[in-house]
Amino acid sequence: MNNYAKAGLFLALGLVIAAIIMAYNFRAAKKHSDMIHQTIRVKGFAAKSITSDFAIWSANLSVRANSLNEAYDKLERHRKVVEAYLAKENIKPEAIDVSQVRVSTNYKVNNNGYSTNEILDYTLNQSISLESTQLELITNIAKDITSLIRQGINLSSYSPQYLYTKIEDLKIEMLAEAAKNAKMRAENLAINTGSKVGPLTYASQGVFQITPVHSYEVSDYGRFDTQTIEKSIKAVVTMEFAID
């Protein structure tokens, strides 16, 4: 084999060895890069029981009469009966909110069941509402005020709404608790794989669920229970950590 052939052979061998080394280094670098970019994603939860501290109650007062004047007079008399009832329950007049009067005109119906242009009478409606921190008082009023029906008062009482006024401050606390829970979950999972939790790479806040105690109801838009005094607030966060 002449010198040119030998040189060509060594050159070819060198290129092959260089290619092998480059391929090995590439795979090693990729493996290292993949390890660096490994992450773990977890959800963190927090729950707390709360007691409502504010209540809203409303009712609808309705009267019907042949003329508007008669209807207005009747509505005023009936409203005074309701206000007297509330006064006996130690509700101050300034605490009572009365809406504008809503007027509906009722027309006569012919023998075929079709409405005519002839006025039959008028219906007047007015809303009465209360807001109070005395939840038991509001609850009792909502239950008992319908006893006025026996006096000829057409009053529809609605269920009270029970609220927690410090909910916004509590949400911040709940998010912090949920974040701690997520970090703990990530650390527990990482330990089982011989890894360590690194820096936070992603975080997302879920919706709050405010439900009756012991309820597991959830909604994509969040739930906000106003029907019960005792409630449970639940918070969830999604967090992603780098794994070392």
* 227 & 203 share domain: yes
Q: Which residue type occupies 100?
A: Q
Q: What is the pLDDT of residue 34?
A: 47
| 29 pLDDT above the threshold of 60 | no
Domain final residue, candidates 160, 181, 199: 160
* 32 & 78 share domain: no
Q: 221 pLDDT band (50/70/90 cuts)?
A: confident
Positive or negative torsion for Cα 141, 142, 147, 151: positive
CA distances from 125 to 65, 121, 122 (A): 12, 14, 10
The average pLDDT across 209-233 equals 89
Q: What is the pLDDT of residue 15?
A: 47
* 30 & 78 share domain: no
The average pLDDT across 41-49 equals 93
Q: What is the pLDDT of residue 193?
A: 77
| 146 pLDDT above the threshold of 90 | no
| 40 pLDDT above the threshold of 50 | yes
Q: 220 pLDDT band (50/70/90 cuts)?
A: confident
Instruction: Decide if 241 contacts 40 (C-beta within 8 A).
Output: yes
Q: What is the pLDDT of residue 238?
A: 94
The shares of helix, strand and coil residues in the chain, as percent rounded to the nearest 5, are 40, 35, 25
Nearest 5°: phi and psi at 159?
-65, 140
Q: Residue 31: give the domain boundaries.
A: 1-37
| 120 pLDDT above the threshold of 50 | yes
Higher pLDDT, 84 or 8: 84
Structural domain count of the chain: 3
* 235 & 184 share domain: yes
* 199 & 209 share domain: yes
* 186 & 228 share domain: yes
Residue 51 makes CB contacts below 8 A (sequence gap 6+) with 164, 229, 230, 231
* 119 & 153 share domain: yes
Residues 148 and 233: their CA atoms lie apart, in Å, by 37
* 62 & 19 share domain: no
* 62 & 156 share domain: yes
Domain final residue, candidates 127, 144, 160: 160
The average pLDDT across 32-37 equals 49
pLDDT in tens, 176-218: 999 999 999 998 988 887 888 888 899 999 889 999 998 888 8
> Encoding tokens for residue 37?
């970019």
Chain CA centroid to CA 212, Å: 12
| 67 pLDDT above the threshold of 80 | yes
Neighbours of 181 (CB within 10 A): 20
State the pTM of this model.
0.76
Q: What is the pLDDT of residue 175?
A: 93
What CATH number has the domain bearing residue 192? 3.30.110.170
Domain final residue, candidates 126, 160, 194: 160
* 148 & 239 share domain: no
Q: For the ranges 42-46, 55-59, 110-114, which has the lowest average pLDDT?
A: 110-114
* 104 & 14 share domain: no
* 130 & 64 share domain: yes
Beta bridge partners of 83: none
Torsion of CA 137, 143, 149, 151, to 10 degrees: -40
Q: For the ranges 13-22, 86-95, 100-109, which has the lowest average pLDDT?
A: 13-22
Neighbours of 133 (CB within 10 A): 11
What CATH number has the domain bearing residue 111? 3.30.70.2970
Q: What is the pLDDT of residue 37?
A: 60
Higher pLDDT, 50 or 31: 50
